[in-house]
């Protein structure tokens, strides 16, 4: 799967959404999250993010792949309650951001 990491927080550019053929990029309050089971690894989203927030899971920078800022895990935990809806557009924006992401200070200027 691909993972969205810290640069997306409070940016939410959403260019990635338009590229995904399976509509598996879901919107939270602070950032977007890729569904780890629904993503088919097409990779189309990765180059279009203007802040380079998207990585193939194995290429996610270490700082964003371990506690306390484990974005790989965040892209899993966001779906604890949502499960696998099979499409982000019908779900819309939800507030399932992991608590530590909700608690991040405002990012950017
Ligand atoms: Fe976020 Fe980049 Fe998509 S900022 S919403 S991952 S295009
Ligand atoms: Fe969609 Fe990106 Fe995966 S475009 S299928 S989330 S690699």
Sign of CA dihedral 59, 61, 66, 70: negative
This model of the complex carries an ipTM of 0.98
Q: State if pTM tops 0.90.
A: yes
Q: How confident is the model at residue 108 (pLDDT cuts 50, 70, 90)?
A: confident
The residue contributing the CA closest to ligand 2 atom 2 is 45
| Model pLDDT for residues 34-65, shown as the tens digit of each residue | 999 999 999 999 999 999 999 999 999 999 99
pLDDT at residue 25 greater than cutoff 80: yes
**How high is the pLDDT of residue 19?**
98
**How high is the pLDDT of residue 109?**
62
| Pocket probe mutation, ligand 2, options 13, 14, 33, 44, max atoms within 8 Å of Cβ | 44
What mean pLDDT, rounded, does the chain reach?
A: 97
- Rounded to whole angstroms, what are the CA distances from 27 to 5, 21, 58, 67, 83? 13, 16, 23, 22, 14
The residue contributing the CA closest to ligand 2 atom 1 is 20
């Amino acid at each position: 799967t691909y993972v969205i990491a810290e640069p997306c927080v409070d940016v939410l550019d959403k260019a990635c959404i338009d590229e995904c053929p399976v509509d598996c990029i879901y919107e939270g309050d602070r950032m977007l999250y890729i569904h780890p089971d629904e993503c088919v690894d097409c990779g189309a989203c990765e180059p279009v993010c203007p802040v380079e927030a998207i990585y193939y899971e194995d290429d996610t920078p270490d700082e964003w792949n371990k506690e306390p800022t484990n974005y790989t895990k965040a892209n899993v935990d966001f779906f604890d309650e949502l499960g696998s809806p099979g499409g982000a557009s019908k779900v819309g924006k939800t507030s399932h951001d992991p608590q530590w992401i909700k608690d991040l200070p405002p990012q950017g200027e």
